[in-house]
Amino acid sequence: MQNPVEIVLRGVPQSSALEHYIREQARKLDRDCNAVRDCHVVAEALHRQKQQQGPQFSVRLNITLPGTEVMVNREHGEDVYIALRDAFEAASLQLRERMRRQGEVQPHSRDGTPHPRS
C-alpha cells in the first residue's frame, strides 16, 4: 500500500486494539492485491430507536486502486468488529474478482490448484 490506512471512528470508542485490527485487515488486502494505493475506513455507531438496545455499527471502506475505487458498506447490530470483518471480506472478494477479470490472477479450483489458461 502506497499510503497509510486512514481510520475515522465516529461514536466508537477509540482503542489501540481496534486500530490494530483495522490496520491488519488492510495489510491482508494489500497482500491479496498489491495495487492498493489507499484505504480509508470509517466506522461509526448509528443511533437506534429508543425501543432498541445498544448501538448499530456501520463500516465504510474506500479502497483506491490505479484508475478505480472499490467501496464497501456493511452494518452490524451489536459488534463493530463483525461489521469490519464483513466489510473487509467483501472488499477482498471484490478485489480478487477485479484482478481475475483483468487477468492478473489465475482462478483456482476448489483444491487450490490453478486452472490451466485457455
Residue 113 lies in a domain: no
What is the average per-residue pLDDT within 66-83? 89
Structure confidence at residue 27 (pLDDT):
92
Residue 106 lies in a domain: no
- DSSP labels, 10-58: ESS---HHHHHHHHHHHHHHHHH-TT--EEEEEEEEEPPPTTS-S-EEE
The total of structural domains in the chain comes to: 1
Structure confidence at residue 48 (pLDDT):
64
pTM for the full predicted model: 0.77
Residue 33 lies in a domain: yes
Structural domain of residue 45, as residue ranges? 6-101
Residue 69 lies in a domain: yes
Please report, as a single letter, which amino acid is at residue 54.
G
CATH at residue 47: 3.30.160.100
Q: Which among 58, 38, 61, 39 has a CA at the least distance from the CA of 48?
A: 58
DSSP label at residue 103: T
Look up residue 35 and give its three cell numbers.
495495487
Residue 111 lies in a domain: no
Tens digits of residue pLDDT in 14-52: 899 999 999 999 999 988 887 889 999 999 998 766 556
